[in-house]
Structures are given as structure tokens and as C-alpha cells.
Amino acid sequence: MKILILNCDNDENTATNGASLIQQHLRRLDDVSIDIIPLFLPFAIPDLSSYSGVIITGSRASVNENQGWIHSLLAIVRDLDRKGIPTLGICFGFQVIAKALGGDVISSGSFEEGFCSVNPVLQEKAGSLFLGFSSTFLAYQSHGDIVATLPLGARVLAENEFSIQAYSLRRFFCVQFHPEILPQTARQMARRDGKDEQALISDVPLTYTLPTLIFENFFKEILKLDSK
């Protein structure tokens, strides 16, 4: 399976860069080859049809910023939709997909950060993206923007008191939280940014890995779609 990661994270430290972390998780799966394109540098997008799936990472940018690479990404998302390529959007990716396909992304006026509760909807509605998850689980968050209005036809898959936390639309599967960021990485990020690591990590054990199931479940969705 060939996967393209569209890297929107300009963090140069591979220990905390979103695309690098996602790549590490994907390498644990069988028969996966991975290409990464950093969108904030000059780039050329290869033939998207050559990929089984695409992942769009988080970013420190806002989807509402007037930047050339963000406008290009919005166009790429619409192309992915036309081509029917399964795509996983994470945080910024969750938001840029919503905006590209007709939704609204706004500033919430506050910030959701650290390991926060996420509540999947009924499993029969959420499909296999949350297979193996409990009715409430913890996942790392780092965002101030939220999706206020979903694109037409999108289904909410998870939510919490702050905002919509997951949705699906055709072959897009999107999560507001960061399944790639586990407690040890969150601790490194807190130290880097001079923040209270205990407040961000709370009582989450360092061995906690549940959110990474999103990647395995996304692959299951790809295989299911390919079989149709």
C-alpha cells in the first residue's frame, strides 16, 4: 500500500514533527510505502491516483490564513475528492478538508490543549474508524480553530464539549485530535514550549497508545473501499 503524507507541520525536530510521527506509526503496519511532501516549501504534487491513501497533517497555521500553500492545499483536497482517494485529515487537515468542501472553520476564541476526552457517536454510525475505542477516550489536542459547519453530507463520528472531533464525507475520514501524539511526545513538546507538562498530560500513563488505532482503522477503510 502506497501512502502520501502531505506535511503541513514546519517543526524541524523529527521527534515532534507531525509527519515524522505519523510515518513512525505507519511503518509498524505491513506492506506500506510512504512519501512525504512538505507543503510549506516549494513543491510539486505527483500523480495522486498512484496512492492508495493520503494523510494531511496538523499545522501551526490556520486554514483561514492567506498563504499560497494553503490555497494550493484546498485545491488538492478538491482533487482528492474528484479522484475518490481515501484521505485522513488530522487537526489542520480536518479543518482544511472541511473548508475545501464547503464547511466553515472559525476561531473558537479559546484553545483546546493536552489530553482531552473524546466521545465517539454510536459505533454503527462511526463505522470502523473507531473500532476498538471505548465510548469515551483521551486524545491529544492542540487547536483554537474549530469546524463550525460541516460540508453537506458529512457525518459526525465523534465530539466533545469543545467541538466536533471527527467526521466522514465520501472517502474522507477526519479527526480534530492528534492520534500520532502520545504522552512521551506530549511531554517533549511541553518542555520545548515551556508549558506545564503535568497539566497537559494529566493522569495519562506513558504507555497509553489507544489513539494510534486510528491509523490501523484508516487502513481498514482503504481496504474496504478498494474491495468495492
- Which sequence positions are flagged as catalytic? 91, 178, 180
Inter-residue contact 160 to 117 (CB < 8 Å): yes
Q: Which three cell numbers stand for residue 158?
A: 465523534
Inter-residue contact 80 to 29 (CB < 8 Å): no
Residue 149 sits at φ, ψ, to 5 deg, of -135, 125
The region that residue 95 occupies, defined by phi over 0 for left and psi between -120 and 50 for alpha, beta otherwise, is alpha
Give Cα 110 distance to the centre of its chain.
Answer: 20
Burial 123-153 (b: 16+ CB within 10 A, else e): eeebbbbbeebeeebbbbbbbebbbeebbee
